[in-house]
Amino acid sequence: MKRRDALKNTGLFVGISLSAGAISTLFQSCKEAQSADIWKPDFIPEDLVDLVAEIAETILPKTDLPGAKDLKIHQFLDRAWSLFYKPEIKQHIMKGLLAFDDDCKAATGKQYLALSEEERHNYLVELDKQALAIMDDDEEVSFGGRSPQDEPFVPIRAEDAEDDLDFDPFFSYIRGNVLWAYYTSEEIGKNVLTYDPIPGQAIGCMDLEPDMKVYSF
């Protein structure tokens, strides 16, 4: 199955729970920075920006659809990590970013950016297997994003820290957030998923067809 068909027909929930207004603000701030060509990272260290961009591109490479770099997914992630994560989770992500190249070199003999496309793919597949195995063994893992009781929406950084947080493996955050950012991008939302701008017709119960596309958020 081509990736375009998979995106159309797969209902995938990834990432952290954000209000529609928060996602809109997030994308608007990224778009303004891109249009003015003034983007600078708020969270990702500048010397690791290319690394994050290439990891995202390996997860979602350019095919008949734009790749992660085409949509500047790394900029979206930088903004999201800066604004919408608890301090403990941000620290966990930062530790993972800082250790990523050393771990890669220990496993492959090369830093990530020195790997070929195939080697990058194979390395991330192995990380994914390891992350899934860890998560399968731990049913109490907490995502650490927005709390269920947050009403109205409040950025995570304004919340008190929770005690005894268990962390998902670092790669699960990267993979999940890349997919989440991609699915909620304007390009994919309008041109791949079913785009039905609000307000629209509310259908409480409907039959699902095999070729029915997922609705854009």
pTM of the model: 0.67
For 88-128, what is each residue's pLDDT tens digit?
Answer: 889 999 999 999 999 999 999 999 999 999 999 999 999 99
Q: Does 147 score more than 50 pLDDT?
A: no
Domain ranges of the chain: 19-191
For 152-208, what is each residue's pLDDT tens digit?
Answer: 444 444 444 444 445 678 888 889 899 888 888 777 666 666 656 655 666 667 677
Whether 53 and 28 have beta carbons less than 8 Å apart is answered as no
- Give the chain as a 3 state SS string: CCHHHHHHHCCCCCCCCCCHHHHHHHHHHHHHHHHCCCCCCCCCCHHHHHHHHHHHHHHCCCCCCCCCCCCCHHHHHHHHHHHCCCHHHHHHHHHHHHHHHHHHHHHHCCCHHHCCHHHHHHHHHHHHHHHHHHHHHCCCCCCCCCCCCCCCCCCHHHCCCCCCCCCCCHHHHHHHHHHHHHHCCHHHHHHCCECCCCCCCCCCCCCCCCCCCCECC
**Residues β-bridged to residue 215:** 194
Phi-psi region of 103 (alpha: psi -120 to 50; beta: other; left: phi over 0): alpha
Inter-helix orientation angle 117-137/87-108, to 10°: 130
pLDDT at 201: 64
* Cα radius of gyration rounded to whole Å, the chain: 18
Instruction: Please give the Cα distance from 104 to 190 (Å, whole number).
Output: 36
pLDDT at 69: 94
Instruction: Please give the Cα distance from 90 to 74 (Å, whole number).
Output: 15
Which of these ranges, 15-29, 40-54, 96-110, has the smallest mean pLDDT?
15-29
Structure tokens of 102? Answer: 């050393």
